[in-house]
Every structure is written in C-alpha cells, then in structure tokens.
Amino acid sequence: MKHTNDISIKLTNITKEYTIHHEKPTLVEKFYRGREEKFFALHNISLIVKRGERIGIMGPNGSGKTTLLKLISGITTPSSGSIETNGKIVSLIDLEAGFHPDLTGYQNIYLNGMLLGMKKTEIERKLKSIIEFADIKQFIDAPLFTYSSGMALRLSFSIAVHANPDIFIIDEDLSVGDRNFQRKAKKKIDELFSQQKTFIFVSHFSHLLETYCKRFIILKNGTILQDGSLATCDKYFK
C-alpha cells in the first residue's frame, strides 16, 4: 500500500497474536479441543519511518524484533492494524531464503533476483557485477549444495544489494564472508545510504547499530519501550 513520498513505512496499531497449542493434553482437554494459550508477539505498535532514515531496533530475545521485520517485509500479516509501505522492500532476514540447492549459482541468481522483484533484463544487465561482487566466479556453474555457507551468503547479499531496494531490512550482523568482503559490503551499504535508501537494522550488537543508525527503537514484550536518538536510548545499550 502506498503512502506519501516522504514516508517509507507507516504502522498503525499493529498487533500480532499467535495461538500456542500445548502438547499432551489430558482427556478432558482433548474433549474441549485441547489447551490453548494466546501469545502477543507485538501489541498495538504504531510507527512512522521517513524516507532515508536509518533505524536500529534492539531488545531482548522474544521482544518482537523479527516479527516486526516480517510484518514490514510482508512475510506475515498482522492480526490487527494496518501497514503502509512506499517503495521496493528487500529483506535480509534469512540470507539464503529463495535459493534452491540443486540449481547452479548462475540459475539461483535468476531465481532469487526475480523473487526480489528484479526483471530478467535487469538481472542480465547486472549479472557480471553480482558474480564479481560475490567473488564466486569459478563456482558459478556449480550447484548451490556444493557451496560453503560463506559462499552462499555472499551470493545472496550480492543479489540483494543489486536489487536496488527503496527499503532495506537487515536482521542481525553484517559479518558476511571474510574481511575483504565485509569491507565491500560496508562500502555498498554506504553507497545506498548516499542514495537516501531507508534502512532498518536489527541486531544484538550495539556497535553495529551505533555505526549505521541515527534513530533507535527499543522493544520489550512486544511493545515500544523507547524511540529516539542514541543519547535518548544510550542506557539500553549498557
């Protein structure tokens, strides 16, 4: 759904509820369709992200960070509330999602690229750059199951950054590949920053967020505990 050009993401009263079915119910519980428990991963979240913002999201395990990213990415839908996004979203929640192990690296570039919204002509135009950036030229015709995890991650990251997203969502650290590749990855991220792309980072590593982000959101128990600058949120980084 589209919104005004200066707003990338708008969440209004978002709640995500899951039903937990407990194992090994008693006979009585079976009769009453088993024992169920409602769990709110997110509760009544409202948030506006402007174009070009770089937001870091932190919180303990179970606070709702990944659920929030999946909702923004469209991987899952909210139980209630509305989500509006403006622009193409590329999500690095699972770097290897969209790959097929029996296909070659070359074939997976087309498969993954199209899943990220790239046209075939765009992939063909960027193919050489994607392969060179991932540094897998000698293995491009080998099936993906022969790749090391590092090679697969480099290829996935390379496709993602070449997909030219308007909104970039990254879950956890950018420690993809060796130091040389990490330098290339950081340079590419900095290039996207200069193009006023919107970034949302989720990480347990405060140094990563401090390096890249200007605004910070602290989640706890599915709600926003704090939303502000580093100075405002600094106590949560300790």
For the question of whether the overall pTM of this predicted structure is more than 0.85, the answer is: no
pLDDT tens-digit series, residues 150-192: 888 889 889 988 998 899 998 765 666 677 888 888 888 888 8
Whether the per-residue pLDDT at 35 is higher than 60: the answer is yes
Neighbours of 6 (CB within 10 A): 10
Give pairs for 143-146: CB < 8 Å, separation 24+.
Answer: 143/101, 143/102, 143/103, 143/104, 144/99, 144/100, 144/101, 144/102, 144/103, 144/104, 144/105, 144/108, 145/101, 145/102
Whether the per-residue pLDDT at 32 is higher than 70: the answer is no
Backbone angles phi, psi at 102, to 5 degrees: -90, -10
Q: Helices H, strands E: what count in the chain?
A: 8, 9
Report the alpha-carbon distance of residue 65 to residue 63 in Å, rounded. Answer: 6
Please name the residue that has the structure tokens 């709640």: 15
Whether the per-residue pLDDT at 43 is higher than 90: the answer is yes
Q: Which residues pair with 10 in a beta bridge?
A: 48, 84
Residue 15, phi-psi category: left (phi > 0), alpha (psi -120 to 50), beta (remainder): beta
Identity of the amino acid at 143: P
Torsion angle defined by CA atoms of residues 112, 118, 124 and 128, in that order, rounded to the nearest 10 degrees: -60
Put the strands of the sheet holding 36-50 in their side by side order: 36-50, 7-21, 80-85
Least confident span in 17-26, 59-68, 132-141, 178-187: 17-26
In CATH, 7-87+166-237 is 3.40.50.300: yes
Domain boundaries, the chain: 7-87+166-237, 100-163
Task: Give the pLDDT confidence score for residue 1 in this predicted structure.
Answer: 45
pLDDT tens-digit series, residues 119-140: 999 999 999 999 999 998 899 9
Query: Which positions ≥6 away from 33 have C-beta within 8 Å?
Result: none
3-class SS of residue 21: strand
